[in-house]
Amino acid sequence: MSEKEIFIEKLKKRTKKFAVDVIKFCNSLKKYKASSVVLYQLIKSATSTGANYRAACRARSKSEFFSKICIVVEEADESEYWLEIINEANLSNDRKELIRLTNEANEITKIMSKAKISSYNNNK
């Protein structure tokens, strides 16, 4: 397996772990009427991050990869947004996990943004 293939597999596992960790975290949040909407959006974006990354890895063309990786960037960034909302609305008692997940969403966004830029430059 090449270094690139190893990196891709690690990133697939990382994005899946992020989704699972977000789901588990959401089960621990305070129960308010508004929190159900936030939780739904966060779970959607976090799970979509990994699912679309897997789809990008199976892309049939460079343009399809670019399209999918753009979605991954959007979904990872959206996940970070919803985690910030949870923080600012004080919906979590687990501050440590909230910070960890927010940092992870930010790191995934940065990694995927770099892939997006590289893909764009390679398609020129």
As a whole-number percent, the residues of the chain with pLDDT over 90 amount to 79
User: Between these two residues, 15 and 30, which has the higher pLDDT value?
Assistant: 15
| DSSP labels, 3-47 | HHHHHHHHHHHHHHHHHHHHHHHHTTS---HHHHHHHHHHHHHHH
| DSSP labels, 44-103 | HHHHHHHHHHHHHHT-SSHHHHHHHHHHHHHHHHHHHHHHHHHHHTT--S-HHHHHHHHH
The mean pLDDT of 49-76, rounded to a whole number, is 96
pLDDT digits (tens, 9 = 90+) for 7-19: 999 999 999 999 9
**pLDDT value of residue 123:** 67
Range of the structural domain that residue 18 is part of? 3-123
CATH classification of the domain holding 37 = 1.20.1440.60
Query: Is the pLDDT score of 47 beyond 90?
Result: yes
The mean pLDDT of 18-40, rounded to a whole number, is 91
How many independent structural domains does the chain possess?
Answer: 1
Kindly indicate the confidence band of residue 44, based on its pLDDT and cuts at 50, 70 and 90.
Answer: very high
Query: Is the pLDDT score of 32 beyond 90?
Result: no
83 in Cβ contact with 98 (< 8 Å): yes
Query: Is the pLDDT score of 31 beyond 90?
Result: no
Query: Is the pLDDT score of 122 beyond 80?
Result: no
Which of 34-38, 84-88, 119-123 shows the highest mean pLDDT? 84-88
Q: What is the mean pLDDT of the chain?
A: 94
